[in-house]
Amino acid sequence: GQNIDQPTEMTATEGAIVQINCTYQTSGFNGLFWYQQHAGEAPTFLSYNVLDGLEEKGRFSSFLSRSKGYSYLLLKELQMKDSASYLCAVSYNAGNMLTFGGGTRLMVKP
Amino acid sequence: DTGVSQDPRHKITKRGQNVTFRCDPISEHNRLYWYRQTLGQGPEFLTYFQNEAQLEKSRLLSDRFSAERPKGSFSTLEIQRTEQGDSAMYLCASSLPRLAGREDTQYFGPGTRLTVL
């Protein structure tokens, strides 16, 4: 079976740093993705991890530990526009289908 | 705009009617995926194509649902005899296959929001 867990909601202050955790148990693993989704819009790609360790991309970083089935997304210097849902997804099978967590709704306050 | 496009963006229909959605992927992408997303949840995989071949279907895809990709370019998703439980956002995504040194990132279209009354 496929199971991906992430917190439902988080709140943070503008300019701060926030870490969104994701744990997964999946039959098959090709890689882990993070997407950002604003209300009523499509998910947009943020980051991809296939090997253990940290991937950094500007204000966003993502970490993966395959042995622990764990990932996190780190957002630095938070801006109001970062208020959105953040989706953790595992790619599996030869077709690289995605299994998503329920998403973490992040609210950035002034 | 060279991204994934979907049409229509919104569809309101009455229970029992048939609906069809269209997805145009990024032109060089040979993989195309359909997902369904309900409010407050992450997307759920429905089916995917590599070129014109439909290679995988989720158990979520009942026999009222059918998808095609006749020439390996655009795809259609049809829902027959719609039910209120079909109300959701239907998302399409496309990608290139994963190869060494290349990610298989899926890029999503804006979605079709279906409301069944």
pLDDT higher than threshold 90 for residue A13: yes
Question: If we measure between CA atoms, which residue out of A65, A62, A75 comes closest to residue A17?
Answer: A75
pLDDT higher than threshold 60 for residue A50: yes
Q: What is the mean pLDDT of residues A55-75?
A: 96
Interface residue of A32, A51, A97 to substitute, partner B, most B CBs within 10 Å? A97
* H/E stretch holding B108: strand B107-108
The string of pLDDT tens digits covering residues B18-63 is: 999 999 999 889 999 999 999 999 999 999 999 999 999 998 889 9
For chain B, helix (H) and strand (E) counts, in that order, are: 0, 11
Q: What is the mean pLDDT of residues A29-33?
A: 93
Which distant-in-sequence residues (6+ apart) come within 8 Å of A84 by Cβ?
A36, A37, A38, A39, A105, A106
Interface residue of B51, B94, B105 to substitute, partner A, most A CBs within 10 Å? B105
pLDDT confidence of A2, banded at 50, 70, 90?
confident
- Two structure tokens written together for B84: 């209120």
Q: Which residues of A touch B40 (CB under 8 A)?
A: 102-103
pLDDT confidence of A110, banded at 50, 70, 90?
very high
Check residues A102 and A96 and name the one with the higher pLDDT: A102
- Please tell me which of the candidates B45, B50, B103 has its beta carbon nearest to residue A98: B45
pLDDT confidence of A92, banded at 50, 70, 90?
confident
pLDDT at B61: 87
Round to whole Å and give the CA distance between A108 and A82.
Answer: 7
Quick one: DSSP state of residue B5?
A: E
The string of pLDDT tens digits covering residues B82-114 is: 999 999 999 999 998 766 556 789 999 999 999
Question: If we measure between CA atoms, which residue out of A83, A19, A50, A69 comes closest to residue B104?
Answer: A50
Size of interface A-B (CB pairs under 8 A): 64
Q: What is the mean pLDDT of residues B66-95?
A: 96
- Please tell me which of the candidates B42, B45, B105 has its beta carbon nearest to residue A101: B42
pLDDT at A4: 96
pLDDT at A10: 98
Q: Which residues of B touch A100 (CB under 8 A)?
A: 42-44
Please give, rounded to a whole number of angstroms, the shortest distance from the CA of B106 to a CA of chain A: 8
For B84, the 3-state DSSP assignment is helix
pLDDT at A28: 86
User: pLDDT > 90: what percent of chain A?
Assistant: 86
pLDDT at B100: 58
